[in-house]
Amino acid sequence: MADQPKNENKQRVALVIQYLGTHFHGWQRQPNGRTVQAEIERVLSEVLESPVTIHGAGRTDTGVHAAAQIAHFDHSSRIPAHRWSAILNSRLPEDILIRASAPVSPTWHARFSASWRRYRYTIYTDSRPNLFVRPFSWHYYNVPLNEFLIQKALNPLLGYHHLAAFRRANSARKHSWVDVQAVECQRQGPLIQIEIQANGFLYGMVRLLVGLLVQVGTKERSPESFTQLWIDQQRDRVKYAAPAQGLCLLRVGYPESPFPKEAWFDTQPQFLLNY
């Protein structure tokens, strides 16, 4: 879009982004491997004919999906904010979609203005495989899972806690304190969905947590021992992370969202497999 007139005043645009994490090495740009951030920055730079950096609300890992990741970027063109969703969708690959774009103030930040993030982890428990569920769930069927025990183990996590037991190595975060605001485990037929909302998440936290919660659901571990493990910060006893494809960044909350609720609130479809 070389013919777009420009001015010197920077405008900040916020985006609601969906992506299928299957073929991405996570959100964050890196030297080797395809990433969501790099793909969007490539298109923005082509449109604006200058380098552009996009800032996300969270950094999802390799293979993790997002139903409503939030990000922002700055530009000096005259392209109105509401047009960016259509412009980007016409150029982005099929596994990234911009649901909405909106203007925000120069002080608004996708990461630092956020109040919370919410993740959903989906477990598929039927012994029969399902092609349409497989890309978005952990197929776990060897031992029955008790969702009530999982919920019982989740409840003590509510509040402000030191959760170093659920932190992978190489984390750049300075501390392991997390304010957990909501926890929920529900079953719909053969599907169990675990949702966790917090002010922020440790590197690898949800997948490590779900890997341990499955032990609770199979009665290999009691809810009480689960709680004692993270209270005592026994990281060496958290050995397995749940597979990436079952995890989705469901939504990000702000004191005042720049988007209508239908654009970001609950945009990962529910599978209805009640048989």
CATH number at residue 248: 3.30.70.660
Are residues 127 and 79 part of one domain?
A: no
Residues 85, 124: one domain? no
- Same-domain check for residues 77 and 176: no
- End-to-end, the C-alpha distance of the chain in Å comes to 52
Same domain for 63 and 172, yes or no, is: no
Q: What are the average pLDDT values for consecutive 10-residue runs of the chain, which has 275 residues?
A: 54 98 96 96 97 96 97 96 98 98 98 98 96 96 96 98 90 87 96 97 95 97 97 93 97 96 93 67
Q: What is the pLDDT of residue 174?
A: 81
SS (H, E, C) the chain: CCCCCEEEEEEEEEEEEEECHHHCCCCCCCCCCCCHHHHHHHHHHHHHCCCCCCEECCCCCCCCEEEEEEEEEEEEECCCHHHHHHHHHCCCCCCEEEEEEEEECCCCCCCCCCCEEEEEEEEECCCCCCCCCHHHCEECCCCCCCHHHHHHHHHHHCEEEECHHHCCCCCCCCCCEEEEEEEEEEEECCEEEEEEEECCCCCCHHHHHHHHHHHHHCCCCCHHHHHHHHHCCCHHHCCCCCCHHHEEEEEEECCCCCCCHHHHCCCCCCCCCCC
| pLDDT tens sequence across 131-188 | 999 999 999 998 999 999 999 999 999 999 999 999 987 777 788 999 999 999 999 9
**Domain range for residue 141?**
116-256
Domain count within the chain: 2
Looking at residue 1, its pLDDT comes to 46
The answer to the question of residue 162 being in a domain is yes
Q: Is 263 domain-assigned? A: no
Do 141 and 242 fall within a single domain? yes
Q: Out of 3, 61, 95, 236, which one is annotated catalytic?
A: 61
- Quick check: is 243 in a domain? yes
Which of 79, 104, 129 is the C-terminal boundary of a domain? 104
Which pTM does this prediction carry?
A: 0.94
Any idea of the CA torsion for 226, 231, 236, 238, to the nearest 10 degrees?
Answer: 30
Give yes or no: residues 158 and 70 share one domain: no
Q: What is the CATH number of the domain that holds 40?
A: 3.30.70.580
Q: Please indicate, yes or no, if residue 38 is contained in any of the structural domains.
A: yes
Both 168 and 89 in a single domain?
no
Residue 122 sits in the same domain as residue 83: no
Whether 137 and 209 share a structural domain: yes
Q: Does some domain include residue 264?
A: no
In the prediction, which pLDDT does 8 show?
A: 58
Do 239 and 131 lie in a common domain?
Answer: yes
Whether 127 and 213 share a structural domain: yes
Which pLDDT score, from 0 to 100, does residue 3 have?
A: 44
Which residues does 118 contact at the CB level (< 8 Å), separation at least 6?
182, 195, 196, 197, 249, 250, 251, 252, 253
Tell which of 104, 129, 150 closes a domain: 104
Are 228 and 120 contained in the same domain?
yes
Asked if residue 29 is part of any domain, the answer here is yes
In this prediction, residue 5 carries a pLDDT of 44
Active site residue 126: no
Last residue of a domain, one of 104, 128, 162: 104
